[in-house]
Chains A and B, each alone.
Chain A
Amino acid sequence: MAEMNMLQAINQALDLAMAQDDNVVCLGEDVGHFGGVFRATSQLQEKYGQNRCFNTPLTEQGIIGFANGMAALGLKPVAEIQFADYIYPAFDQIVNETAKYRYRSGNEFNVGGLVIRTPYGGGIAGGHYHSQSPEAYFAHTPGLKVVIPRNPAQAKGLLLGAIACPDPVLFMEPKRLYRASVGEVDEAYYELPLGEAEIIQAGTDVTVLAWGAQMEVVAKAVALAEQEGVSCELIDLRSILPWDQATVIDSVLKTGRLVVSHEAPLTGGFAGEIAATVQQHCFLYLESPIARVCGLDTPYPLALEKEYMADHLKVFTAIVDACNF
């Protein structure tokens, strides 16, 4: 075990994956000698050569198209999109190509080796284009897996799980936590399972569900609620697609209340999908309306970022309101 931040954990995961399998290749803007604008690919070109860790021209559709081609040959490209806000030029390659490759060919071909890493999320004064959380756009895309870790140990294990996974994975990294989140990480190779939520804390009054950087926020809200005598079951969803319906449904069957929180805007956000599914399976057990604590339905603002964000006080209020309904 060693203490490291999330970037170091991600860097170690990539290092281990590249050491173990020649098919693993890292590519993207500035990921080569420079090691990435956040340093996630630091030293990888020095260790594994320019052919396996390299800069690409500045073209997101090109990066993902190129990575799709490599994956179709059987390589395991880990493609970096510098900010999730800039993934949209590659939306067509991801949604129409990556996600449908295996299905449309009848399994003649697949791009299961592909992992797309991208920093996402707000709280860093990033304004419109360095703050977005686009997971819900991709959650509507059969064929893709979407994974978001909450801390260094999760980031390493889930990233190695994503690289080993036979399906293409969009791996979204909470950049606010890149250096802020520090924890003990097993230095050996290990994978964490995709598609499984994790119950962080058991409780009986209300289920509180989030993912990624928002876990830190809801954990604060849960601590406040516990001081008020509310027993919260705290769950990290970890995988957005496919998501662990069973764990969430079982929890709500027990607690009878659900608060879901995410940074992204409310309308069309993934909390809506969760709420609809939970009310369908837990209808007779729900004691209050399912609460969604999300970003406003606006572009991500700069000056009023604090007001915009689904912070711990907003989540705390939703928990209390659910219990007092």
Chain B
Amino acid sequence: MNNATNNPSNTTTNIVHQAEFTDTHALNIPTLSILQEDGTLFAGAASPSLDRATALKIYDSMVFIRILDERMLAAQRQGRVSFYMQCLGEEATTVASAAALDPKDMIMAQYREQGALHYRGFSLTQFMNQLLSNDQDLGKGRQMPVHYGSHDLHFMTISSPLGTQIPQASGYAYGQKLRGLPNISLCYFGEGAASEGDFHAGLNMAAVLRAPVIFFCRNNGYAISTPANEQFVGDGIACRGVGYGMQAIRVDGADALAVYEATRLARKLALEQQKPVLIEAIAYRLGAHSSSDDPSGYRSREEEARFRQQDPIARYKCWLKRKGWLDEAADQIACDALRQEVLDALKVAEKRAKPHIDTLIGDVYAEPTAALKAQLEQLKSHIRQYPDAYPLSAGRFE
């Protein structure tokens, strides 16, 4: 058997003399699972080093997001919010991974990662202002609900086109390396988005250009109605990372400890070796895709019930209780209080004014162009003529 290396094709290979095809599942990538349903650890598993404050902060963010999701989906049903997307069943993937990062690491998300944003410190009021697109929204009311972003919290503003943030995260991380920053980027995306060309572009570029970025795939089984087996036939997403020449790991996405540990190690690897890492978290999208979707058209109640048993919050809570870090009664009171706080914040946010009409032409460019200013003036004189048709803006300028 000859070993052929150092050739222009950049391959390292053994030469064989009988045809051998390699199977897609040849890698057989395992799934890291640390925490059992009852809150004990699997035999042979070690708990990541988590102090009590951090462990409780992870729990608080997961619970916050679950309650926010539950209340805001209801608010959408009442017509108080135009659109909503829950993260039900995936709270551990986003919160525990964010917890393993440095607060100055850039996060580039898809749209189902509000847990990471809350962990970073995005306040209830800030969530509400974005969801209600009022004049206090950091995004100035321009994007649909759930498209959050915060420069201060190093959380890139979300956009709807899927996968576009993947090569951007590679470029951002490359910039961090170029500037010698002690930080990395983490990019979240779903298994459906991983079918976009930007996934291929972003991973290959990060690998070739050695960008310190963690690609974090939430494989939750569905892209809207499309099950994962109609999305790809390879062994999930993790195997693809190996194909691009980066290290990859698969974790149980309902296990906060496994997600935390995998992300912590991936970050260390990315930063110390200045190269990308891929994490695939196996989860289940328990809720509908969005407030515009009804999953009963494409999957069974039985399937949903089966996965509801694998609740990431319940599992993590068992662990906290076993450690004596969580008191059931106090937790119940806190959750009830939070439900009320969310409703109160909603009431405040929906009473706030919408953004001023001048914001329509701001930020298209650093400075509005002459043509844009002329269009705004024309619009204002039109509104002066028909004020009743534009109640949000009429009477709010000169």
Q: Which residues of A contact B (CB under 8 A)?
A: 25, 51-52, 54, 56-57, 59, 61-62, 64-75, 77, 89, 92-93, 96-97, 100-110, 112, 142-143, 145, 166-167, 195, 242, 245-246
Contacts and interface: CB of A to CB of B under 8 A. Distances in A.
B205 A73 contact: no
A108 B205 contact: no
Interface of B: 106, 108, 137-140, 142-143, 147, 149-151, 156-157, 159, 161, 164, 166-179, 185, 197-198, 200-202, 204-205, 208-209, 362-367, 369-371
Contacts of A103: 142, 363-364
Contact of B178 (A25, A92, A110): A25
A100 B362 CA distance: 12
28 contacts: A51-B178, A57-B204, A59-B200, A59-B204, A61-B197, A61-B198, A61-B201, A62-B167, A62-B201, A65-B168, A65-B171, A65-B205, A66-B167, A66-B168, A66-B209, A69-B167, A70-B178, A75-B175, A92-B164, A106-B157, A108-B149, A108-B157, A143-B365, A166-B365, A166-B367, A242-B369, A242-B371, A245-B370
A75 B172 CA distance: 9
A54 B205 contact: no
Contact of B198 (A25, A65, A74): A65
Contacts of A96: 159, 161, 164
Contacts of B175: 69-70, 73-75
Given A61-B198, A62-B205, A109 B151 contact: yes
A300 to B, nearest CB: 25
A65 B159 contact: no
A65 B142 contact: no
A102 B362 CA distance: 9
A175 to B, nearest CB: 25
A109 B149 contact: yes
A74 to B, nearest CB: 8
B380 to A, nearest CB: 19
Given A69-B175, A69-B185, 19 more contacts: A57-B201, A59-B200, A61-B167, A65-B198, A66-B167, A66-B201, A73-B172, A73-B176, A77-B171, A92-B198, A93-B164, A96-B159, A102-B364, A103-B363, A106-B139, A108-B151, A109-B151, A145-B365, A245-B371
Contact of B174 (A70, A101, A106): A70
Given A54-B209, A109-B157, A65 B166 contact: yes
Contact of B140 (A64, A72, A92, A106): A106
A62 B369 contact: no
A88 B138 CA distance: 32
Given A68-B171, A73-B176, A104 B205 contact: no
B299 to A, nearest CB: 30
A241 to B, nearest CB: 9
* Most chain B beta-carbon neighbours within 10 Å: one of A59, A89, A167: A59
Given A62-B202, A62-B204, A75-B178, A69 B173 contact: yes
B194 to A, nearest CB: 15
Contacts of B177: 51
Given A66-B174, A69-B167, A106 B138 contact: yes
A71 B167 CA distance: 12
A93 B175 CA distance: 18
B363 A107 contact: yes
Contact of B168 (A59, A68, A75): A68
A166 B198 contact: no
Contacts of B362: 107
A293 B156 CA distance: 45
Contacts of A107: 140, 362-363
B352 to A, nearest CB: 15
Contacts of B371: 242, 245
A69 B168 contact: yes
Contacts of A66: 167-168, 170-171, 174, 201-202, 205, 209
A207 B252 CA distance: 69
Contacts of B138: 105-106, 108
Nearest to B155: A108
Contact of A65 (B149, B167, B179, B370): B167
A146 to B, nearest CB: 12
B370 A246 contact: yes
Nearest to A109: B157
Contacts of B139: 104-106, 108
Contact of A70 (B151, B172, B201, B370): B172
A57 B159 contact: no
B167 A106 contact: no
A69 B363 contact: no
Contacts of B197: 59, 61, 89
Contacts of B204: 57, 59, 62
A279 B139 CA distance: 37
A167 B172 contact: no
Contacts of A102: 363-366
B58 to A, nearest CB: 26
Given A69-B174, A75-B175, A109-B157, A104 B365 contact: no
A74 B151 CA distance: 12
Contacts of A51: 177-178
